[in-house]
Amino acid sequence: MNDKYRIVVDAGHGGSDPGAVSGNLKEKDLNLQAANYMYNRFKELGVPVAITRDTDKTLTRNERLNTMRNTFGNDPNVIVLSNHINDGGGVFP
């Protein structure tokens, strides 16, 4: 990987926004597990990385976007990986 790139890992949903829910599974929890794994693995590999949330907390849209945009100085070489595990019930045109 080119060392000029930076990664922001986003754990979608969180806090009061559970995302998709099925039984006792909540999308926000699965997103957080995946995001924390990715964040820790990138750190182990020496890749510059940040995460939008590392606990179950509510982020406003602006808080989430500001973290994505500003962590590495709004650099155009930032890659954002946003985790979402949808329930498959969406309607596509």
pLDDT per residue as tens digits for the range 21-56: 989 999 999 999 999 999 999 999 999 999 999 999
Question: Does 11 fall in a domain?
Answer: yes
Binning the chain into helix, strand and coil, the percentages to the nearest 5 are 30, 25, 45
Q: Given this model, what pLDDT does residue 2 score? A: 53
Q: Given this model, what pLDDT does residue 75 score? A: 87
Contacts of 58 (CB under 8 A, 6+ apart): 14, 15, 16, 17
pLDDT band per the 50, 70, 90 thresholds, residue 87: confident
With 0.95 as the threshold, say if the pTM is over it.
Answer: no
Query: Across residues 54-78, what is the average pLDDT?
Result: 93
Question: Does 47 fall in a domain?
Answer: yes
Question: Does 91 fall in a domain?
Answer: no
pLDDT band per the 50, 70, 90 thresholds, residue 91: low
Q: Does residue 90 register a pLDDT over 70?
A: no
Residue 37 structural domain? 6-83
Question: Does 59 fall in a domain?
Answer: yes
